[in-house]
Amino acid sequence: MHPKALLEACTGLVGEMLKLEHPADAVVARYFRENRSLGSRERATAAETGYAVLRKRALLEHLASSGSGPRARRLAILAFAGPRDLLQGALSADEQAWLAQCDAVAAADLPEPLRHNMPAWLAQALQEQVGEDFWALVKAFDGTAPLDVRVNALVGKRDEVRQELAAAGIESTPTPYSPWGLRIAGKPSLGKLDVFTRGAIEVQDEGSQLLALLLDARRGQMVVDFCAGAGGKTLALGAAMRDTGRLYAFDVSAHRLEALKPRLARARLTNVHPAAIAHERDERIARLAGKMDRVIVDAPCSGLGTLRRNPDLKWRQTPQEIEELVAKQTAILESAARLLKPGGRLVYATCSVLPQENEQVAAAFSQAHRDFQAVPVQAALQQLKAPAAADLCSGAEGAFLRLWPHRHGTDGFFAAAWERAR
Ligand SMILES: C[S@@+](CC[C@H](N)C(=O)[O-])C[C@H]1O[C@@H](n2cnc3c(N)ncnc32)[C@H](O)[C@@H]1O
pLDDT in tens, the chain (422 residues): 899 999 999 999 999 999 999 999 999 999 999 999 999 999 999 999 999 999 999 999 999 999 999 999 999 999 999 999 999 999 999 999 999 999 999 988 999 999 999 999 999 999 999 999 999 999 999 999 999 999 999 999 999 999 999 999 999 999 999 999 999 999 999 999 999 999 999 999 999 999 999 999 999 999 999 999 999 999 999 999 999 999 999 999 999 999 999 999 999 999 999 999 999 999 989 999 999 999 999 999 999 999 999 999 999 999 999 999 999 999 999 999 999 999 999 999 999 999 999 999 999 999 999 999 999 999 999 999 999 999 999 999 999 999 999 999 999 999 999 999 99
Mutate to test the pocket of ligand 1, among 178, 211, 226, 227 (most ligand atoms within 8 A of CB): 227
Question: Is ipTM beyond 0.90?
Answer: yes
Q: pLDDT at position 111, please?
A: 97
251 Cα to the center of ligand 1, angstroms? 6
CATH 3.40.50.150 placement within the chain: 206-420
Topology classification of domain 147-203: Alpha-Beta Plaits (3.30.70)
Burial class (CB in 10 A: 0-12, 13-18, 19+), 164: middle
228 Cα to the center of ligand 1, angstroms? 6
CA distance 5 to 422: 67
Q: Is the CB of 181 under 6 A from ligand 1?
A: no
Phi, psi (degrees; rounded to nearest 5) at 180: -100, -5
Q: pLDDT at position 115, please?
A: 97
Q: pLDDT at position 101, please?
A: 96
CATH of 3-117, one of 1.10.940, 1.10.3470, 3.30.160, 1.10.3860: 1.10.940
Task: Point out the ligand 1 atom lying closest to the alpha carbon of residue 233.
Answer: 8
CATH 3.30.70.1170 placement within the chain: 147-203
Q: pLDDT at position 107, please?
A: 85
5 Cα to the center of ligand 1, angstroms? 40
Q: Is the CB of 229 under 6 A from ligand 1?
A: yes
| 298 known member of a binding site | yes
Considering the entire predicted model, what is its pTM? 0.96
Pairing of the two strands 201-203 and 147-151: antiparallel
CA distance 115 to 9: 27
CATH 1.10.940 placement within the chain: 3-117
Topology classification of domain 206-420: Rossmann fold (3.40.50)
CA distance 169 to 42: 26
Other CB atoms closer than 10 Å to residue 383's CB: what's the count?
11
Beta bridge partners of 416: 348
Please tell me what DSSP assigns to residue 352: -
| 148 known member of a binding site | no
DSSP H helical ranges for 275-390: 283-286, 313-316, 319-337, 359-368, 377-383
Active site residue 351: yes
- Residue closest via CA to ligand 1's atom 25 equals 253
- Residue closest via CA to ligand 1's atom 2 equals 300
Q: Is the CB of 263 under 6 A from ligand 1?
A: no
Q: pLDDT at position 1, please?
A: 84
